């Protein structure tokens, strides 16, 4: 999701949370930044997409009216429905939080991760960040250009840098950074070639120079930077897989499914194109109990092998 769209959706949520009555579409159009310069049809299309996006994110958008004389429905978000209940964590969940924070411990974002742990502890959550070495992970940011590229991406400023491939100078509007299999990739608009390009950050040499003003770079709506990177670095689709997905979960899998049909008791059966079994196993593990692989058998076996390894490590760690 682009930064511009994220900002618009956040403005919409704030607006609908702040009101105690239903707001009409026209009132929302006049109030929420991001809609004010659109024509009638363009606003209608964008607002419909934004409402669906909020519902997909689990935000309880309520439709209704304050009077029987209202000709059109209004919208609001009830604070009681939106607010989270008190959150408690199981010991295993606290261990995962520790792993997540330590992922960035030795990287340039280590201070932010440490700050997140401090906030949890200040709220009374006892997070154990002393995780076992066997399941410890790291996100490396050893590339000298990483921090400059990250900052320019956050500031939405164009950058100029020397790229080792073809020994050329590039002028790029950065859209985002993606980590894939230990490497960082920059996705953006290459001004010299007038097209979308992917750059491996480790191949950027010398200084990265930001040009223009903050906010000058606009990320096009609907751009999926992770998908762009995967299209460049992934193997072509080799197999078709079937997975069971719990209602409301694994939206990424649902979007690329070749077919989807109701299965039983709140589950859907999806058919997916995948590169190979190991990659499907990695993806399924990320969704925990909300995704179950039906086939291929080698992907199921890969998931079981990972779970057994984690269980063995946990037993070793606790001395059980």
CATH number at residue 215: 2.30.30
233, 254, 271: which is the final residue of a domain?
A: 233
Based on the structure, what is the number of domains in the chain? 4
**pLDDT per position as a tens digit, 115-153:** 555 555 555 555 544 444 444 444 556 688 888 998 899
CA gap 162, 199 in Å, rounded: 11
Both 228 and 303 in one domain: the answer is: no
Same domain, 209 and 153: yes
**141 within some domain:** no
In a domain, 153, yes or no: yes
> Same structural domain for residues 194 and 249?
no
pTM, two decimals, is: 0.41
Instruction: Determine the 3-state secondary structure of 90 from DSSP.
Output: coil
283-306 CB burial, b ≥16 within 10 A, e <16:
bbeebeebbbbeebeebbebbeee
- Residue 256's CATH number: 3.30.70
**In-domain check, residue 47:** yes
Q: Tell me the backbone φ, ψ of residue 9, rounded to 5 degrees.
A: -65, -40
Range of the structural domain that residue 262 is part of: 239-318
Quick count: other Cβ atoms within 10 Å of Cβ 161?
A: 23
Write the pLDDT tens digit of every residue in 293-309. 999 999 999 888 878 87
Flag whether 156 is in a domain: yes
249 and 183 housed in the same domain:
no
User: Tens digit of pLDDT for each residue in 63-107?
Assistant: 888 776 667 788 988 887 777 666 676 766 766 666 565 555 545
- Domain membership of residue 157 (yes or no) is yes
Q: What is the DSSP string of 107-153?
A: STTHHHHHHHHHHHHHTT--------GGG--------TTHHHHHHHH
Residue 291 is predicted with a pLDDT of 93
Which of 123, 177, 129 has the alpha carbon at shortest distance from 150? 177
Whether 66 and 112 share a structural domain: no
What is d(CA 106, CA 163) in angstroms, rounded to the nearest whole number?
A: 26
The answer to whether the bond into 2 is cis (omega within 30° of 0) is: no
The verdict on residue 107 lying in a domain is yes
Query: Within a domain: residue 72?
Result: yes
């Amino acid at each position: 999701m682009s930064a511009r769209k994220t900002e618009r959706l956040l403005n919409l949520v704030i607006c609908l949370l702040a009101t105690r009555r239903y707001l009409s579409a026209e009132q929302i159009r006049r109030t929420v930044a991001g809609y004010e310069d659109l024509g009638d049809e363009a606003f209608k299309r964008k607002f419909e997409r934004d409402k669906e996006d909020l519902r997909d994110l689990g935000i309880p958008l309520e439709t209704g009216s304050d009077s029987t004389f209202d000709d059109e429905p209004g919208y609001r978000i009830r604070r009681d429905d939106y607010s989270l209940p008190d959150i408690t964590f199981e010991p295993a969940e606290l261990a995962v939080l520790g792993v997540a924070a330590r992922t960035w411990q030795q990287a340039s974002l280590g201070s932010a991760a440490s700050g997140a742990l401090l906030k949890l502890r200040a709220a009374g959550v006892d997070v154990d960040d002393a995780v076992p070495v066997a399941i410890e992970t790291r996100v490396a940011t050893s590339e000298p250009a990483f921090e400059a590229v990250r900052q320019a991406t956050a500031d939405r400023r164009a950058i100029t840098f020397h790229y080792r491939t073809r020994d050329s100078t590039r002028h790029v509007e950065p859209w985002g950074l993606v980590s894939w299999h230990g490497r960082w990739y920059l996705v953006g608009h290459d001004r010299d070639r007038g097209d979308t390009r992917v750059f491996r950050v480790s191949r950027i040499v010398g200084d990265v120079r930001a040009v223009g003003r903050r906010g000058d770079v606009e990320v096009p709506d609907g751009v999926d930077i992770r998908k762009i990177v995967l299209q460049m670095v992934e193997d072509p689709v080799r197999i078709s897989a079937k997975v069971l997905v719990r209602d409301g979960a694994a939206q990424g899998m649902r979007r690329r499914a070749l077919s989807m049909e109701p299965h039983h008791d709140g589950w859907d059966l999806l058919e997916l194109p995948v590169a190979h079994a190991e990659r499907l196993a990695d993806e399924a593990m990320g969704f925990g109990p909300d995704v179950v692989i039906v086939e291929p058998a080698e992907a199921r076996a890969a998931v079981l092998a990972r779970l057994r390894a984690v269980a063995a490590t946990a037993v070793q760690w606790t001395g059980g």
